[in-house]
Amino acid sequence: MNINVQEYLSALNEFTRRMDSMTQIYHPDNEIIFKPVCDHLGVSRIDTHYVPLIGKPVDTVIYGAEAPKSDVSITSKEIAQNGNVTEYTLYKKQGTPEWDNDDKQTLLGFIKIMFIIHGRHAVIQMAKRLTYGDPQMNVGNLAAFFGFVKRLIEQGRVSEFGTCRFNIKRLSMYNRNFGRDTGTLMMQRFIDGLRPLTENNVFRIGGDNFNLLFRKEKFEEIRAYLTGTPIKTDLVYPEEITMSARVGLYMCTEDDKSIDDIMSKITAASEMARTLSKDGCFVFDDDAKARADHSRMVESQFYAALDKGELTAFYQPKVDINTGRVIGAEALARWIKDGRIIPPIEFIPILERSNAICQLDFFILDKTCKDMKKWIDKGNEGVKCSVNLSRMHLGDEKLLEKVIGIIDKNGVPHDLIEIELTETTTDVDFDELRRIVNGLHQSGISASVDDFGVGYSSLTLIKDLPWDVLKIDRSFLPNGSDNDEQKHIMLRHVVSMAQGLGLKCIIEGVETVDQIQLLKDIGCSYVQGYYYDKPLPKEQFEGKLLAGYKA
Ligand code: C2E
Ligand code: CA
Ligand code: CA
């Protein structure tokens, strides 16, 4: 035939230019792109037979799928550096002149060019997979999630979708108990089950943290899947385990204008899932938005508020029910912002997420010492005050030094200060608690067990440390409910056991005269509760300190 080299080269030029801008190797436009070159070469159809080193061979028609396989063809095997083989077959168009040796050389040259282009595509695809994908789980990564959400926002379609951030529960336990390979396999299967529900829009953020994008109508199915789905383990026992995740969900709206908006909502929701939800699943709604705004306000304004003097201590009297005398007080933090008193429940849990709570505790201790010093100077020598220390202090090696430093700086006698700490169940924390309670004891500062009866209280743990005071939670107090009889029995025993261990008992949250009578019967003299007073501002407390209450 003798191909017209000049014309063929210019067609080839155009061919390589267009193939270069192609995003996929097997593109619907291939027919148009291949046609001019193939016409010059007298080719009607191109087949490939791809044999990867691992996996099954794949047959593809890359040009002329409609054309029959003619009797005359030329075939060449190309081997890539990684060992994968591609066999190209070019079929001669019927009715065109025979191919001579020169033509065949040109055809083999064309196969080489296709092979190089295909190789280049494969490299680009791999780079994309590595940039936007997670090879282990075969899902997208954070960059892919960002890209996808950004496109949806640009196209004005984001409100059709819901999204979530989830963390697989107990994965490290599965790794430990069954081995890492089984752990990974279970995670893969758990993730695979989400593909059909999300049209494959699963993204790994790192470790066992993932994001999803799904059509809103799939919400219930996804929620049900993530809160508990049986997964095969391939072990003899257990054959199956119900896996679940901690999930923060959010239904996107037209108002979501940036990826940051959406990310901050699912991140906040997954935080809230940790603390606020029973099944580990939390949906970010208007309520949650108000909560998240409030958290942000607390986090961003707390330190400035300390400087501005917006934080202060209120004092709740502790009273001897037999004499009505104020025997001391608990200092409780209050944030007075724009004339409104923010109760601790609204900011302490937020400060406990960071070191900020420790700053607050030291501040309240300092403020309490300053107030006490004034009362002492006025001649009121006996009032003992307690201050709360959060668990977040455990692990601070300098804690004792800091506490004693604040007390001494203000010139308050050690025996007038009591530090309230809550119990702990873990061994590490217990060792820390031992160090602190012993240290306080040696310095002559009292230590009290706060909230006894909340959580896993145990007198066994308490007898091992030199505590001075047991503060019994109000959940032990009969209050007109069905199990009052039981509460009564437990309270009596706890009080007598604590007193037997040499601890002073204080009952918190006493509200009624019946409760006071009961405590008198049991022989427990000290109470703190609304029956006498709420936590009071300093000046009001000073009044009570002098006057006392009716016995
Ligand atoms: P808590 O240490 O158990 O403090 C006692 C809480 O019970 C106080 O709530 C008090 O107002 C409330 N209370 C007292 N008597 C009664 C009663 O008769 N009935 C009822 N229903 N409640 C009563 P408050 O002041 O809102 O403090 C809540 C919690 O915040 C405290 O519980 C404590 O855990 C924490 N907290 C307060 N101030 C500080 C602080 O300076 N540092 C730390 N780490 N935590 C603090
Ligand atoms: Ca307390
Ligand atoms: Ca308490």
Greatest Cα pair distance in the chain: 122
pLDDT at 412 over 70: yes
CB atoms within 5 A of ion ligand 2 belong to 388, 420, 450
The model's pLDDT over 489-513, given as tens digits with 9 standing for 90+, comes to 999 999 999 999 999 999 999 999 9
pLDDT the model gives residue 144: 94
Q: Which residues contact 471 (CB under 8 A, 6 or more apart)?
A: 420, 448, 449, 450, 451, 452, 506, 508, 528
Q: 450 in ligand 1 pocket by Cβ < 6 Å?
A: yes
Query: Domain 5-133, CATH 3.40.50 — does that match?
Result: no
Q: What value does the mean pLDDT of the chain take?
A: 93
Minimal-distance CA residue to ligand 1 atom 12: 509
Cis ω for the linkage preceding 238 (within 30 of 0): yes
**How far does residue 298's CA lie from ligand 1's centre (Å)?**
19
* Residue 533 near ligand 1, beta carbon < 6 Å: no
- Locate tokens 């050690």: which residue? 414
Phi, then psi, of 206 in degrees rounded to 5: 150, 140
Determine the average pLDDT of the residues in 306-325: 97
pLDDT of 1 reads 65
Fold of 306-546: TIM Barrel (3.20.20)
Our answer on whether the CB atom of 349 is closer than 6 Å to any ligand 1 atom is: no
Q: Is the CB of 537 under 6 A from ligand 1?
A: no
The per-residue pLDDT for range 129-142, each reduced to its tens digit, is 888 888 889 999 99
- Could you say which ligand is closest to the alpha carbon of residue 421? 2
* Span from the CA of 495 to the centroid of ligand 2 (angstroms): 18
Higher per-residue pLDDT: 400 or 382: 400
For the chain, the structural domain boundaries read 5-133, 136-284, 306-546
509 lines ligand 1 (CB under 6 A): yes
The closest ligand to the CA of 386 turns out to be: 2
Fold of 136-284: Alpha-Beta Plaits (3.30.70)
What is the rounded distance in angstroms from the CA atom of residue 63 to the CA atom of residue 28? 10
Q: Are 510 and 519 in contact (CB under 8 A)?
A: yes
Question: Across-strand partners of 489?
Answer: none
Give the number of the atom of ligand 1 that is nearest the alpha carbon of residue 510.
18
Residue 544 Cα to ligand 1 middle (Å): 19
- Report which protein residue has its CA nearest ligand 1's atom 23: 509
Q: DSSP for 294-331?
A: HHHHHHHHHHHHHHHT-EEEEEEEEEETTT--EEEEEE
Is residue 87 lining ligand 1, measured as CB closer than 6 Å? no
Rounded-to-integer distance, Cα 437 and Cα 299, Å: 30
Partners of 92 in beta bridges: 43
CB-based contacts of 152, cutoff 8 Å, min separation 6: 158, 160, 161, 213, 252
Give the whole-angstrom CA distance, residue 266 versus residue 211: 9
Only one residue has tokens 């009578």, namely 517
Q: Does the CB atom of residue 468 touch ligand 1 within 6 A?
A: no
Structure tokens at 440: 């306080």
Buried b (16+ CB within 10 A) or exposed e, 515-533: bbebbeebebbbbbbebbb
Digit-coded pLDDT (tens) for 21-49: 776 777 778 889 999 999 999 999 999 99
CA of 312 to the centre of ligand 1 (A): 14
Q: pLDDT, tens digit, for every residue of 457-499?
A: 777 778 889 999 999 999 999 998 889 999 999 999 999 999 9
Predicted local confidence at residue 151, as pLDDT = 95
- Give me the pLDDT at residue 484, please: 92
- Beta carbon of 162 within 6 Å of any ligand 1 atom: no
Average pLDDT over residues 293-312: 95
Neighbours of 188 (CB within 10 A): 15
pLDDT at site 5: 86
Q: Is the CB of 54 under 6 A from ligand 1?
A: no
Per-residue model confidence (pLDDT) at position 277: 87
For residue 389, pLDDT beyond 90: yes
Ligand 3 centre to CA of 436 (Å) is: 19
DSSP assignment of 343-373, as one string?
A: PGGGTHHHHTTSTHHHHHHHHHHHHHHHHHH
Distance separating alpha carbons of residues 343 and 335, to the nearest angstrom? 7
